[in-house]
Structure 1
Amino acid sequence: MNIPPFHGKTDLEAYLEWEKKIEHIFECHNYSERKKVQIAALEFTHYAINWWNQLTVNRRRNGERPVSTWDEMKAIMRKRFVPTHYHRELLRKLQNLTQGSMSVEDYFKEMELAMIRANIEEDQETTIARFVSGLNPEIADTVELQYYVDLEEVVHLAIKVEKQLKRKEKEEEDDTIKEEVNENVDFPADGEVLVVKRSLNTQVVQSDQQRENIFHTRCHINGKVCFVIIDGGDQASSHSVSIGSYKDEVICDVVPMHATHMLLGKPWQFDRKVMHDGYRNRYSFTYDGKKHTLAPLSPQQVHDGQVHLKKSFEEFKEKE
């Protein structure tokens, strides 16, 4: 059997892995303790061989006997290559270990390896409790309701629950994709935008909350194209509105500003059970058995529309 080399790098995991492999090889052979030390030292390279040679010379100079057993050699090497806080770090890692983004199988392996390295000895019920408490809640809640007798059984049960949840998520995702494919997207109306004379003597207030992600679109009202903002608000009046194939009677605010003609607020969103997709900035709802998804104007279209609306309003005032 080939003895793995040890380079002496400050890599804690590499040292412990080397130590474990060496001990497995020693278990297969009836080596004397002196022979074990010699065989292990033969595979030292780079920094490790220089460190070991210097240690041997220093012991000889100080009148100390040579290292003669594997346990003694291992203790010296651990003192040099394993930090004193290592065991505390292992315990802390084990106590804080949770599944997170890992699969159930990877989480269990991580927990098992941490217990081995920390030399944790506990009864099976305690280990089961440790494992289940670290599972993601949606898996742990189901596992705790099931019957199991040992650690292996609860691990297999958790893996089974995980697969069921992933299958359910995949089915729900497929249903969402099908729904998006079948949805009817209603785009803003085209045409010359209506100029509205302001009947209220209210000044337009600039607000930090009026950002570009506010939903802007255009609609038809009595054959005229109007700007629309979908936002919170109180009802003021009822209007017949059409955006694409969506035609409805809505309660809304007609606001005294250049920014828009109409504000669709909470009453409309409540009555139509409207869902807002914040990522795509689209509003979806079902009306007369047909699903509608309202697509917004781009920021550039909003800007151009407001500039044009202001210019039209100023021309209207001059004529008036």
Structure 2
Amino acid sequence: VKCFKCYGRGHVQAQCPNQRTLFLKGVDEYTSGEDEPSEREEGGEDERVAPLEGELLMIRRTLNNHPRTSIETQRENIFHTRCNVLENICSLIVDSGSSCNCCSARMVEKLNLQVVPHPKPYKLQWLNENGELSVDKQVEIKFSIGNYKDKVLCDVVPMEACHILLGRPWQFDKKTLHDGLTNEISFTHKLKKFVLSPLPHSQVVKDQIQMKHKR
């Protein structure tokens, strides 16, 4: 007779005199609960939580939707600012939810920017209600925000929320840090540290109205 709790012989599991809990650790390996760290033990290894699996709940929020409050707070605001492109003031958004850097097809047309074929064309669904959009062009944009001067390769898309949208590629390349309280974005460019401040919410609303009237 073999006990399946302590793996001793001469008794069954229900009659096992050994009350310690055993943990199976692999093939032919086991240990008692006394060898395991206590769940209440402080300073243990951090628990790693993996993303949940299953069907995703789809939600959609356009970039130019703003809270109706008149209080100047950055709590619910996407990062908006302005940049200079060929001596023209353009609207710029930094959004970590975008997997690509994008620019407005309208801006490319107005400024007569030189486009190149996209090396990996793809389809977009979230930009409008007219079905899928084919993204097959790119453009390199030289822009500046104060003393910060840079160039970025953007996909040309027919978006109207802003002129330039810097997504994860730009944030990854610049190793940006986002302050959730002040909504400021800091990074280092050419050995110099920059901190981008957001446009006040009231000015963002005015810019959106002005862009809509021009369209």
TM-score tier after normalising by the smaller chain length? 0.3 to 0.5
| Structure with greater helix share of residues | 1
TM-score by length of 2: 0.48
Based on CA coordinates, which of the two structures has the bigger radius of gyration?
1
| Structure with greater strand share of residues | 2
TM-score by length of 1: 0.33
